[in-house]
Amino acid sequence: MLALEEILLPAGDGQSATPIRLLKADDLDAQPAPARAWAKASGYEAAPGDVLLVPGEDGALASVLVGAPDDDTPSLATGALSRRLPAGLYRFADMAGADGALAALGWLLEAYDFARYRKEKPAPARLICPGGVKRADVLEQARAMWLARDLVNTPVEDLGPAELAAAATGLAADFGAQVDITTGEALAQGYPLIHAVGRAATKARAPRLIDLTWGAPDAPKLTLVGKGVCFDTGGLDIKPASGMILMKKDMGGAAAVLALARMVMAGGLDVRLRVLVPAVENVISSASYRPSDIIRSRAGISVEVGNTDAEGRLVLADALAAADEEAPDMLIDMATLTGAARVALGPQIAALFTPDDDLAAALGDAARLQDDPLWRLPLWRPYMEEMKSPLADTSNVGSSGHGGAIIAALFLSRFVKRAAHWAHIDQSGWNFTARPARPKGGEALAVRALFAHLKERFGKE
């Protein structure tokens, strides 16, 4: 597999590179005569996304025409070219108003190939970085996204809690960050919900809390929390086979926050970064936690277990409580938390929950500009009634089965009291079908939108 730097080459005159021209139907008449003639002979009308390879007099590829989107919405769509075009070197000669950075990033995201267990795909086409685009920034974003995809795609046999901790430790080493791992009795005492969910696993795959810190201690505090359930059987409330087949992706929130952390550190944002990942396997043994168990959380809130398959919110609750103790300026948690969010929005859009209208608006703007969609759902407080327990402070599930994504977000909100700003992202962590710049498989939704907002808020430029 080519390295990222070999796929996106530094900007230059690029005269040896084959030109790519993004254009709309009205622009066809402005193309050189040979290209116009070939387009007419081929019946090419420059519909959005349509590609035409234009030969030269010698029969070699002379240029590429690509139909631009109908509107000016920022898009990664041109990323598909890195796998659709013949091997070779290309440059954008006419971008028809498209965002050069997104075009370059999309090219790299489409080039991703998870080949750990099979033969690699043929090498993607290479691209000269568009003029005015900071190549280093694009490379770092792509590197972070590739990291997240690798983690989600790796099956639990090779990515349990220990391996997830090793990935975080490796990331920390790259940027001079510190990592502390809490396990065993210290975990049971300090993070009882995390311990309860993961205690059924074998000693080699025991639960742990990963705690990464980076940046100046006196900088604004940015804390990221990611659900690290490396595999979810559902516990004693066991999932059917169809519901378990993709549960290697249940640590998609952890992968997403590690990707976001990489972007933050590589971008040198002026923050005191903390990343908390509760890493567990929700498996079945004689040590499994049970429906109707009551567990007192790190925050002191007692939780009655209504369903052992609602484990993600339990491990997040303890991690959020630990994060909230420091009263961070910004607290973001990410998780593959509920099927209900997928029912509401589908797998391509991340669900956003926050009580902060200004933050929601800013993230919405960033999502549009980055072609990284998210959609705000309400923290509808009356639904808190559904989590009432006659024996504990709260249940971990609602009583009606309705509004599951909202119920889960409301449960988490009980553990966030001191953070100045809080956002909860419920995302699928998986591309079920291939789309431009989004190959089928593991994915980290909303990460690029979040980073764009964080860069604007905490960037040094």
The residues assigned a catalytic role are 239, 313
Residue with tokens 């009882």: 192
d(CA 109, CA 422): 29
Residue 246 C-beta-side C-alpha neighbours within 13 Å: 15
Q: Characterize the bridge pairing of strands 228-232 and 441-442.
A: unpaired
Position 397: which residue type?
Answer: V
d(CA 355, CA 342): 21
Q: What is the largest CA-CA distance in the chain?
A: 82
Angle of helix 135-153 versus helix 447-458 axis, rounded to 10:
140
How far is residue 344 from each of residues 90, 341, 427, measured CA to CA in Å?
40, 5, 11
Residue 162 makes CB contacts below 8 A (sequence gap 6+) with: 204, 205, 208
Question: Hey, what are 96's tokens?
Answer: 């028809």
Four-residue CA torsion sign, 372, 360, 209, 282 = negative
Containing 52, the helix (H) or strand (E) segment is: strand 51-55
Residue with tokens 């004693």: 236
Cβ–Cβ under 8 Å, residues 227 and 255: no
Question: Hey, what are 95's tokens?
Answer: 């971008």
How far is residue 302 from each of residues 194, 292, 299, 327, measured CA to CA in Å?
14, 12, 9, 22
H helix runs in 93-229, sequence order? 100-111, 135-153, 161-175, 184-190, 192-198
Question: Hey, what are 60's tokens?
Answer: 């070699």
How far is residue 107 from each of residues 31, 227, 350, measured CA to CA in Å?
24, 29, 22
